[in-house]
Amino acid sequence: MFRHPMNSTPAPRSTIGFWIIIALLGLGLLVSLGLNTGLVVALLAKGGSGLDLGEQAVDEFPVLSEVWSYGEGDVKAVRIPVTGIIMHGGEETLLGATADMVESILQQIRAAQNDDDVRALIIEVDSPGGGVTASDEIYAALQRFKASREDRIITVFIRDMAASGGYYVAVAGDWLIAEPTSIVGSIGVIMQSLNMKGLSEKIGVRDVTIKSGANKDLLNPFEDVSPEQRALLQTMIDAMYNRFLGLVQEGRPIDADKLRGLADGRIFVSDEALEHKLIDQIGYWDDVVAKTAELAGEASLRVIRYDQKPDFLSWLTTVRLNLSPTSWLHSERPRLQYLWQP
């Protein structure tokens, strides 16, 4: 005999996931309201719409807190780190983006240039490179510092690496010192993109692009790159490469023909870099300080660094929530880079 189940009513579905999503959205809303409220309060505390702009442009004449770092003497040197990937735009976090490292470096160089007591910069490089324009901006700022006064000099201390854009920045120095285990070089330019045409055809995804010209969607990941487009891109790469090569020729005592043979993107350990005159010396921090004092014509130097601590108002104006589920789709794009990317 067939028996019906004792209870044929389906079990109710769990709503835990739904309420977790609602709770997270509510939390995000509360955080956003709190940040906006704090911003309004901070603005009112500074006078509302009638903010005191001060007597000088703060980006042109930055006033930074100084910290005595090393050594002592009447002549001042400033140590400035160039660490990580050289790129405009801060690193994305849960609360938005961190400070722009390139702007921070440029501010420190300007502050040192505006200080009559500063005779030297010590640029501490530990970078695989980064954006073409970002690297060039730092290089140009260092050149302006040297040109601002005849007695000003720049030494460069290479820690783990000065590759590609990191080396681009380094060649602005008057003297380059690398640690025995440093990696130097990777002179070249790279542009990378993924092509997903084959995959999209297999899974049935089609690209719909409305454009004004044949090259408007250059490097579209859903289309093949034509020979003509590849030639256009290669022309751009060659122009940026020749600029890099020219700056190295200006800054380093290397024969032009020999340099072109070295500048194929390869990297060098410190001994090789010294042999090829890509650097001037192998040493450590004490050697850097001693050489900087020697180049400045001084027995000793007082080395300082800048301590940048944003106030609450500055922090609020840069913090933002980034909860868009599609933001990752736009996080990377093809770009010209002086970057060592193994």
Q: Which residues are catalytic?
A: 164, 216
Which structure tokens are listed for 144? 């302006």
Q: Which residues contact 172 (CB under 8 A, 6 or more apart)?
A: 123, 138, 139, 142, 143, 146, 154, 156, 251
Q: Which residues of 261-280 are buried (b: 16+ CB within 10 A; e: fewer)?
A: ebbeeebbebeebbebebbb
CA dist., res. 341 & res. 330, Å (int): 20
For β-strands 267-269 and 183-185, DSSP reports them as antiparallel
CB 156 within 8 A of CB 125: yes
- Asked if 339 and 267 count as a contact pair (C-beta separation under 8 A), the reply is no
Tokens of 189: 């330019």
CA atoms within 13 A on the CB side of 334: 14
CA-to-CA dists, residue 171 to 93, 276, 328, angstroms? 33, 14, 35
State the amino acid at position 145 in one-letter form.
F
Residue 28 and residue 265: Cα distance in Å, rounded?
45
What's phi and psi for 55, nearest 5 deg? -100, -10
